[in-house]
Amino acid sequence: MSVAERIDALRAELDEHNHRYYVLAQPTISDRDFDALLQELTKLEEAHPEFRSPNSPTQRVGGRPLVGFRTVKHAVPMISLANSYDLAEIRAFDKRVRGLLKNQSFQYLVEPKIDGVAMSLRYEQGQLVLALTRGDGREGDDVTANIRTIGSIPLTLRTPHPPEVLEVRGEVYMTRKGFVKLNQQRETAGLPVFANPRNAAAGSLKLLDTREVAKRPLDAIWYGVGEMRGIDFATHRELLNGLDELGFRTPPLTRDCPDLPTMEAALEENLNARNHYPFEMDGAVVKVNERTLYGELGNTAKSPRWAIAYKYEPEQVETRLLDITIQVGRTGVLTPVAELEPVRVSGSTVSRATLHNWDEMQRKDVRIGDTVLIEKAGEIIPAVVKVRIEKRPSDALIFPEPDACPVCGGPVSKREGEVAWRCENLQCPAQNTRRLQHLASRKGLDIGQLGSVVADALVEKKLIAHPLDLFALALDDVAPLELGTPERPNTFGRKNAQKLLEGIQQAKELDLQRWIFAIGISNVGESASIDLAKHHEDLQSFLDSDLIRSLHRDIQEVDTAIQQMKEELNPRTRLTPTTPQAEVTSILEEYEELRSKVEEILTRWSDRGFVTLTTKALKKTDRGLPIPSYNFSSNITTSVLEACRAFYDSDQGATWLRKALEFNLNPTRSAGDSSPSGKLSGKKVVFTGSLEGVTREEAKQTLRDLGATISSSISKNTDFLIVGENPGSKLEKANELGVAIVPYHDLIDPKAEPQSETTQVLREQLDLFDS
């Protein structure tokens, strides 16, 4: 036997034993014999590096650390499931499916919903070549090296005739036991613990050290497919059996359900089994079994119409409320937090829960010493749902409204129309830490080394009084930072400090949109930041923007004028049959004057793409006088304008500008934002209806990347209306206004057959596809 043959034989044998051990849980050799085979293979591969392969069983123990994760586009987007919480919704789903499928016969299949991390594995010619996280559904992180360490995942499909391409989809999870053990180890080591098994699994998959990943108790279950070439399955049952044969672990407890009653029984059975498996289940999934009918059923923007998740009600548990503390957020909002007697709920131990605000606290009549009901639903922070008044001790204490900030002692106030109390002191250290964390967050300047502990330490050591002070940090300031406790010291160190400073330097190169988001102005989220960046050259011009100030002023004026036209100057209320003619004339004149002023202002802003002008005629009884109105064409709306304005006028805002100048920070708009080169540059598009295979957000981003501006309402300035299924009234409007109507895929997918001549012509005119 040649070396190559021996290597092949060993690999096949080891793969087989791995499968028996991890997937079937029926090992047929001892660990010792297994190790001996693995040893032999390792030696042969070391001696003959030309035969090394990433899918060799020797690679499961992990290897060289990774530098990072590249993002890769999914061949088929990873969409999600619609959720339902009661049988009524399930029955409605059944009715909908039956309606769509008319008289065709079909069955359902019920399987558990596994609470893990969604993953897509790509096999080409039977070899694992790529493992991607879901990411945003359109593209995910390449975690292949980490996935290879999971024993139950086949590195090579168990078939002599592998298909050309097979993408397998499922969940990677951490076992409950493994999770508890890992947290115990972390606690002893002084490391932060994971909140639940899902976070632990997600955290493990993001480790750069594959050897470390190999030690984590990860496993996986597979229930779906993405791209397939040279293989197909007619039903979901066949798919599960097929995956099983190819070497994958598939869900336990799957039931074929010919009708609604059997399906309901299967859901009940699933719920009862919830704690019997080593992984967390957060519900069941009902799928139409016949895959051949999926095309007919189609997808909504976010999820397929052939499946629905039946989620368990979040578990609620009782515990005692020992104390109430106050947390101060980035924008100064004070949040009362319940300090609880630790309890386990939905798979994790909870000792704190949010009480939201004082109004809520009063409404629920929460007092210190009460017995309360708490719940944790998915990602959401645990919340106090209810007080068990009957268990209230006589000495339970009402928690008073705050009279000062608990962190800095500064004044607190409540803004008109808001329920939240805020700390007024913009230099409050609590706000500084949160602002700093927000600045460094992934959607902001993405400075990985700057987590909450480091942020706290920087503020506490008075190295940072304003987020931009980051740019004045020196290695010697940061390296000695103490992050631990006196009992468990943990110094930041030169290496980490160096990385932090590198991250800070890199942030200077990020584009304007990220910087605007990073400032953390209230109401200015990601979408508003994108739109604000389009209208500003660079950071410094945004930090005191005449454009925003004047738009804000004009919008206020317009709003007041429109209000006046509707009320005081409304001919209906002002004019009676006995009003003297002279007064009629003067009122009408005044009205006309206001109207033309408003229209003049709005036209100016509409030409610049901020608003769209609509003119509604008042009803007949109002003498048919037209009254102007408008919509915002982008995410720069009144609340964004007000927040920017308040920011410019605050000390915080002034300091941003001063420091940006001082540190010479002036990131500019990236090419992508204004996209002079984008094929859709300058085009205004509006969406209606649900799109197949992509979410609305993803679709918007794709078009933005091509340079288009997305508006929410249609006008004669709109270039195209992108239509999906079940379009709304915008479709009629587009027809009325003669706006081009384009199916999304016609515009972005070179493989899509254009559905009309208009879109064919558009494609050519815009020269969208090179070939």
Binding site for ligand IVH (CB under 6 A): 79-81, 111, 113-114, 118, 171, 223-224, 251, 285, 304, 307, 309
Residue 295 or 676: the one with the smaller Cβ distance to ligand IVH is 295
Closest approach, Cβ 648 to ligand IVH, in A, equals 42
Do the Cβ atoms of 355 and 384 come closer than 8 Å? yes
Residue 277 or 471: the one with the smaller Cβ distance to ligand IVH is 277
CA 112 to CA 284: how far, in whole Å? 4
Contacts of 520 (CB under 8 A, 6+ apart): 330, 331, 435, 438, 439, 444, 467
Residue 15 or 115: the one with the smaller Cβ distance to ligand IVH is 115
CA 175 to CA 131: how far, in whole Å? 20
Please compute Rg for the chain using Cα positions: 31
Closest approach, Cβ 282 to ligand IVH, in A, equals 8
Burial class of residue 485 (count of CB atoms within 10 Å of its CB; 0-12, 13-18, 19+): exposed
Residue 224 or 609: the one with the smaller Cβ distance to ligand IVH is 224
Closest approach, Cβ 116 to ligand IVH, in A, equals 7
Contacts of 209 (CB under 8 A, 6+ apart): 62, 65, 66
The enclosing H or E element of 237 equals: helix 236-245
Residue 119 or 321: the one with the smaller Cβ distance to ligand IVH is 119
Residue 300 or 629: the one with the smaller Cβ distance to ligand IVH is 300
Contacts of 582 (CB under 8 A, 6+ apart): none
Residue 288 or 470: the one with the smaller Cβ distance to ligand IVH is 288
Closest approach, Cβ 120 to ligand IVH, in A, equals 10
Residue 304 or 707: the one with the smaller Cβ distance to ligand IVH is 304
The first and second tokens of residue 331, run together, are: 């924008």
Closest approach, Cβ 139 to ligand IVH, in A, equals 15
Distances in whole angstroms, Cα of residue 621 to Cα of each of 2, 5, 573, 616, 625: 98, 93, 10, 14, 9
Distances in whole angstroms, Cα of residue 711 to Cα of each of 513, 613, 632, 637: 18, 13, 8, 12
Residue 133 or 149: the one with the smaller Cβ distance to ligand IVH is 133
Contacts of 222 (CB under 8 A, 6+ apart): 121, 168, 169, 170, 243, 248, 249, 250
CA 530 to CA 517: how far, in whole Å? 8
Do the Cβ atoms of 167 and 122 come closer than 8 Å? yes
Residue 267 or 561: the one with the smaller Cβ distance to ligand IVH is 267
The reply to whether 113 belongs to the active site is yes
H-only helix segments in 575-724: 581-607, 638-649, 651-662, 671-674, 696-705
Closest approach, Cβ 276 to ligand IVH, in A, equals 16
Burial class of residue 400 (count of CB atoms within 10 Å of its CB; 0-12, 13-18, 19+): exposed
Do the Cβ atoms of 610 and 633 come closer than 8 Å? yes
User: Residue of minimal CB distance from ligand IVH?
Assistant: 118
Closest approach, Cβ 647 to ligand IVH, in A, equals 37
CA 334 to CA 322: how far, in whole Å? 19
Closest approach, Cβ 49 to ligand IVH, in A, equals 38
Nearest to 89 by CA among 313, 256, 289: 313
Closest approach, Cβ 376 to ligand IVH, in A, equals 16
Do the Cβ atoms of 57 and 40 come closer than 8 Å? no
CA 108 to CA 182: how far, in whole Å? 38
H-only helix segments in 428-478: 429-440, 452-460, 475-478
Closest approach, Cβ 283 to ligand IVH, in A, equals 8
Residue 140 or 689: the one with the smaller Cβ distance to ligand IVH is 140
Of the residues 43, 95, 102, 113, only one is catalytic, namely 113
Looking at the chain, how many residues does it have? Answer: 771
The first and second tokens of residue 366, run together, are: 């929460």
The first and second tokens of residue 41, run together, are: 């293979």
Closest approach, Cβ 146 to ligand IVH, in A, equals 18
H-only helix segments in 544-636: 546-566, 571-574, 581-607
Residue 288 or 686: the one with the smaller Cβ distance to ligand IVH is 288
Burial class of residue 317 (count of CB atoms within 10 Å of its CB; 0-12, 13-18, 19+): middle
Contacts of 474 (CB under 8 A, 6+ apart): none
Closest approach, Cβ 486 to ligand IVH, in A, equals 43
Contacts of 229 (CB under 8 A, 6+ apart): 163, 164, 165, 166
Residue 153 or 706: the one with the smaller Cβ distance to ligand IVH is 153
Closest approach, Cβ 289 to ligand IVH, in A, equals 13
Which amino acid appears at position 726 of this protein?
N
* Angle at the Cα of 224 from the Cα atoms of 197 and 104, rounded to 5 degrees: 130
The three-state secondary structure class of 720 is strand
Burial class of residue 744 (count of CB atoms within 10 Å of its CB; 0-12, 13-18, 19+): buried
The first and second tokens of residue 404, run together, are: 């000062």
Q: Which residues are catalytic?
A: 113
